[in-house]
Amino acid sequence: MIFRRVVYYSILVGIVAGIVLTAVQRFQVVPIIFAAEAFEGASADVASGGGDGHDHEHWGPEDGFERTAYTAFSNALTAVGFALVLLSAILVAQTWSRERPLRPTWKRAIGWSLAGYAVFWLAPALGLPPEIPLQNAADLQDRQVWWVICVVCTAAGIGGLAFAPAPWRWMAPLVIAVPYLIGAPHPEGPMFLDQSPEAAKALEALAGQYVYAAAIANAVFWATLGTLVTWSCVRINQGMAVADRDAS
C-alpha cells in the first residue's frame, strides 16, 4: 500500500512542480534561448548561402504552444522522477530516525528543498554550468559521467553530514569535493566557435544571463517540489497511522 501511495503522490507532485517550472522558464529562461537561437539561425543562413534550397533541418516542435507543451511534458516527467527519489529518501530517513512527522514543518520542507537543489543542480552547475545554443562543450558522454559522479558524491556527502555519526561526519566534505578534484570536462578553444567577435561577445553575455535564470528557475522548482513532497510525506504517514489503528 505504501508503494502505491508513494507513486501516486510522486506523480501528483511531479505534475504540479513541472507546470511551475515550465511557467518560470517561460519568462526567465526561454527568452534567452530564443535570443541565442537567433544567432544560430543567422549562422545557418550564412552557411547555407548558395545551397540547393532543400530543407535538411531535423524535426523539432514549433515555437509557441507546441514547444511549451513538449517542455511542460518533459519537465513533468523529470519532476515525477525527482519527487519519487525525494519522497523515498524522506521516508527512508524517517525510518532510520524512527520518526513519523505527522505535521508539516517549514524546516523539513526547506531542508529537503535545499538538499535536492544542491545535489541535482547547484553542485553539478558549479563544474558544468548550463549552456545555451551554439556554446562550445566537451564530449556529451564525459559530461554525463562527471554529472553522475557529482550527484552521487554530493548526495552521499549531504547524507553523511545529516545522518552519519560524528567520526564519519567529517569525511562528508571530502566526498563532496571528489568530483571537483577529478575536474569537470571542458572543451578547448573559445566559448563560441565560428562566430564574429561581436556575436561571440553578445553570446557570452547571454550565457551569463542564462546561468542566473536557470539558477532561479531551478530554485523555484526545488522549493515547490520540497514543499509538496513534505506535504505528501505527511499524508502518507497519516494514512499509515489510520491503517495501523484499524488493524489494531
Same domain, yes or no, for 36 and 71?
yes
Question: Is there a single domain that holds both residue 160 and residue 179?
Answer: yes
Q: What is the mean pLDDT of each run of 10 residues along the chain (248 residues)?
A: 88 97 95 91 53 53 83 96 91 68 69 94 97 94 98 95 85 96 94 90 96 97 94 83 70
**Domain shared by 29 and 90, yes or no:** yes
Each residue's pLDDT tens digit, 11-36: 999 999 999 999 999 999 999 999 99
pLDDT in tens, 99-135: 555 455 778 788 889 999 999 999 999 999 999 999 9
The verdict on 129 and 216 lying in the same domain is yes
Same domain, 30 and 112: yes
Q: Answer with the one of 186, 209, 226 that is the final residue of a domain.
A: 186
In terms of domains, do 149 and 201 share one?
Answer: no
Report if residue 143 sits inside a domain.
Answer: yes
Residues 76 and 10 in one domain: yes
Instruction: State whether 145 and 38 are in the same domain.
Output: no
Q: Are residues 76 and 90 in the same domain?
A: yes
- Work out how many domains the chain is built from and give that number: 2
Closest Cα partner for 105 from 90, 119, 95, 120?
90
The whole-angstrom separation of Cα 89 and Cα 2 is 14
Range of the domain at 96: 2-43+67-133+197-247
Indicate if 164 and 228 belong to the same structural domain. Answer: no
Task: Mark whether 35 and 156 lie in a shared domain.
Answer: no
Co-location of 30 and 92 in the same domain: yes
